[in-house]
Amino acid sequence: MGRYALLQAWCVCFALGAGPVQADEWDRLTKLGDEQSVAGNYSAALTLYRQALKTAESAEPSDPRLAATLDYLGNTYGNLGNWLESERQFRRALGLMEAIAGRESIGYGLLQLDMGTMYGNSGRSDRAEPPLREALAILMRVLPANDARIAIARGSYATVMMQRGRYRDAEDLLRQDLAVLEKQPERACVPIGHSYNTLGMVLRRERRSGEALALFEQAVRTIEACKGPDHPTLLQALNNLAIQYSDAHKNADADATFLRALAICERRLSADHPLYGGMLWNYAVFLRQTKRKSEAKKMEARSQSVLRESARRNGNGLMVDVSSFRQ
């Protein structure tokens, strides 16, 4: 989700050619899956991509659409907070792509980018950094300097730099990122919004609160303009905006923004999505700060239940670090 959810428009299949597999059926299923994914209906998209995978698996492993379908699935499982299954799809796709096109190909670079964003979204910045660094290096070698895919990779890498406390590096990368993406606002509106959000996080950690608040508001407006008012890609920006309102003692605005984000989670995500658990926890912190202790206890209990279930599904106790999510 948020910064770590790549648009299907940037998926690896754009770099791939067609093969002999049942093209019409694969095209139909992936097109329908893309429509559901772009609309934020990730469970419906997952069903369609699974059907597309069955079609693609009837072909030779060298057919590039098999790797493309696995990439779709990896992104969709990631959007659903199923990190374990997302990683499995990406690793399989990377092996196929390396055999098809080599490690110095656009497709391989974009797959590394997708897997790195998934690691970052699951809170594993240590695992996110190597594939994101490799993706950025590959794409810079094989694409024109002003290609939006390089800018998206740069923005994702900047997010990891921010998470690891390298704020100046992150800010420099994000400003480079925006200099490219803002020239393509219709095509890259969600990545632009995510970059505003991440830059806001950097500035907040540098105690530049007023600038951070303006960027979070701008991130929400930018994503709303192309995705509407209740799309899941709004959630990270809404979360940060609500926290920033709280820090600025704009409690009514903070409360309304938290409730809006939670309503989107409840309508659009699964009941055990780790992002939902993190949102509940953040709202509980706000409720405690505003002396609403009984409500806070209920939110804390709900958050813990969601995150336990998410950890159980993902295995090995993997869950979102809610303290990190609130920073």
Phi, psi of 110 (to 5 degrees): -70, -35
- Is there a domain that residue 127 lies in? no
Q: Is residue 111 part of a domain?
A: no
Q: Is the pLDDT of residue 296 over 80?
A: yes
Angle at 80 between CA 129 and CA 18, to 5 degrees: 75
Task: Look up residue 18 and give its two tokens.
Answer: 């067609």
Residue 142's contacts (CB-CB under 8 Å, 6 or more residues apart) are: 104, 105, 106, 109
Euclidean distance between CA atoms 271 and 290, whole angstroms: 26
What's the domain count of the chain? 1
In 90-122, which positions are buried (b, 16+ CB within 10 angstroms) versus exposed (e)?
bebbbebbeebbeeebbbbbbbbbbbbbbbbbb
CB atoms within 10 A of CB 9: 14
Please list the alpha-helical segments (H only) found in 122-147: 125-142
User: Which segment of 12-21, 39-48, 274-283, 305-314 scores lowest on mean pLDDT?
Assistant: 12-21
Q: How far apart are CA 152 and CA 270, in angstroms?
A: 27
Judge whether 258 lies within some domain: yes
Residue 196 lies in a domain: no
pLDDT tens for 260-289 read: 999 999 999 988 899 999 999 999 999 999
**DSSP state, residue 8:** G
Q: Residue 220 domain-assigned? A: no
What CATH number corresponds to the domain at position 325? 1.25.40.10
Confirm whether 235 is domain-assigned. yes
pLDDT in tens, 109-163: 999 999 999 999 888 999 999 999 999 999 999 999 989 999 999 999 999 999 9
Domain residues for the domain of 275 are 228-327
Q: pTM for this structure?
A: 0.88
Contact of 172 with 196, CB cutoff 8 Å: no
